A = this chain, B = another copy of it.
């Protein structure tokens, strides 16, 4: 028996699984773009450096997606994963902070195809206000509540200096966003019922140095290299 509908009941799955769902989604989109209608857990895994068992186990959290003798129908699995991730529709996003990082985020090509549209940007520096970057209008941060509400923004990206991040997050929550992605190097407090993810760029480097240091320790101990450490995350 196979079913292409994801389980819609609430599921509690590890963060790392959700992370890998995003990676499967991107890979499936590449496969479709290459004109192939179907794929398999081993093909998908090989492209990303995971075992086929890992791919099947991750997807099994949400339902049964394979078809006997066929494997996965790519578009069907794409639709299912987008439904699971909540990106089977567009999300309106506001960016706060138009410094170098904010500008990079406005220019980032990866958001739109995945269902994220930055509809407004905010900055406290009045010389930036009134301009557009990548067709996104920049507003005075004093107007955050009004604009977020008028444009029905649901998600906020915080790209301001650490000392302003909590105040900005508070304003976003008051204005009605339901989720925040924080790029400032500080831990934000948000009320219950608001989702948040922190992006700490040094943390990504530490994942790499951990793997390198671990490999050196393995070598010192004469142990086999742990391949799963060497290639544990894709991209």
Interface residues, chain A, with chain B CB atoms under 8 Å away: 8-12, 14-16, 18-19, 21-23, 25-27, 47-48, 84-87, 91, 93, 99-101, 103-111, 114-116, 154-155, 157, 178-182, 184-188, 190, 192-218, 221, 223, 225-235
| A192 CB to nearest chain B CB (Å) | 6
**CB pair A103 B100 closer than 8 Å:** yes
Name the one of B99, B106, B198, B226 contacting A234, with C-beta atoms under 8 angstroms. Answer: B198
**In the bound complex, what is the Cα–Cα distance between A221 and B11 (angstroms)?**
11
Name the one of B10, B114, B195, B217 contacting A221, with C-beta atoms under 8 angstroms. Answer: B10
8 A-B pairs with least C-beta separation? A198-B235, A86-B213, A195-B211, A86-B209, A179-B208, A100-B104, A101-B104, A10-B218
**In the bound complex, what is the Cα–Cα distance between A230 and B203 (angstroms)?**
21
Name the one of B108, B202, B209 contacting A179, with C-beta atoms under 8 angstroms. Answer: B209
Stoichiometry, as copies per complex, reads 2
Contacts A22-B202, A205-B91, A208-B155 known; A110 to B185 CB distance under 8 Å? yes
**CB pair B233 A198 closer than 8 Å:** yes
A84: chain B residues within 8 A (beta carbon): 210, 213
| A183 CB to nearest chain B CB (Å) | 9
A110: chain B residues within 8 A (beta carbon): 185, 200-202
CB nearest to A154 among chain B residues: B212
Contacts A182-B235, A187-B47 known; A212 to B86 CB distance under 8 Å? yes
